[in-house]
Amino acid sequence: MTRKMQRTVCRCRSQLDRIGLVRRSSSEEDARTPRGTLSRRGIAALTVDQLNAKPAGGETNSVAVIATHALASTRSYLSIAVGAPPPPRDRPAEFRTVAADGFGDRAEDMIGQCLGLLKGVTFDPSIKGVRTWTQGLADDPVTASWALLYGTSHLGEHVGHLHMTLELLRPAD
């Protein structure tokens, strides 16, 4: 595995760790950690109402939608990157997600699946796969390197969206 691929795998793991995320640490942790530190238990700590809220209004996405889409997309791109069959995916349904009790556990399961794809991975540059979940692009094969790089950058973009959405949910200090 090239050095760039190794760095990308590390970045992907870091982003996945942050997606379990997205909440300011509890007051108990605040004494030990910097303000704004994220924790893996963040999504699990949100109420169902907070998970489904759209604090920016209109056609924006909730935390539940963003997390569902980011994790499903990451799992799909990582599957291509490691030569595994892409999992079944209904991309339009990801944007209709409504969280219920247990959403945090399902998010952690998806994070675990993504991390499992990266465990002990070695990349074969000859691997190619297709994005079966996209319309019009399904016949356009992509390389393992491209899938890893794109999937990681796409995940990072959505982690940023989650940060912004949670900032809007946070009560004013």
Closest to 22 measured CA to CA, from 36, 42, 41:
42
Most confident segment among 96-100, 126-130, 147-151: 96-100
Per-residue pLDDT, averaged over 62-74, amounts to 94
Give the start-to-end residue ranges of the domains of the chain: 3-169
- Give the pLDDT score at 74: 94
Confidence of residue 135 (pLDDT cuts 50, 70, 90): low
Question: 27-65: string of b/e by CB count within 10 Å (b at 16+)?
Answer: eeeeeeeeeeebbbbbbbbbeeebbbbeeeeeeebbbbb
Percent of the chain residues topping a pLDDT of 70: 81
Answer yes or no: are the C-beta atoms of 168 and 60 closer than 8 Å.
Answer: no
Average pLDDT, stretch 96-105?
93
Pairing of strands 142-143, 128-129: antiparallel
Q: Give the per-residue pLDDT at 75.
A: 95
Look up residue 171 and give its DSSP letter: P
pLDDT in tens, 30-64: 433 333 333 445 677 789 999 999 998 888 999 99
Provide the pLDDT for residue 1: 65
Residue with tokens 């004013």: 172
- pLDDT of 139 reads 66
Q: What would the mean pLDDT of 83-88 be, rounded to a whole number?
A: 88
- Is 104 within 8 Å of 21 (Cβ atoms)? no
Q: Which stretches of 27-62 are DSSP H helices?
A: 27-30, 42-45, 48-52
pLDDT tops 90 at residue 108: no
What per-residue confidence (pLDDT) applies to 33?
36
Q: Give the chain's mean pLDDT.
A: 81
- At the topology level of CATH, where does 3-169 sit? Four Helix Bundle (Hemerythrin (Met), subunit A) (1.20.120)
State how far the alpha carbon of 52 is from the alpha carbons of 22, 42, 131, in Å.
14, 14, 28
Cα atoms in the Cβ-side hemisphere of radius 13 Å centred on 142: 22
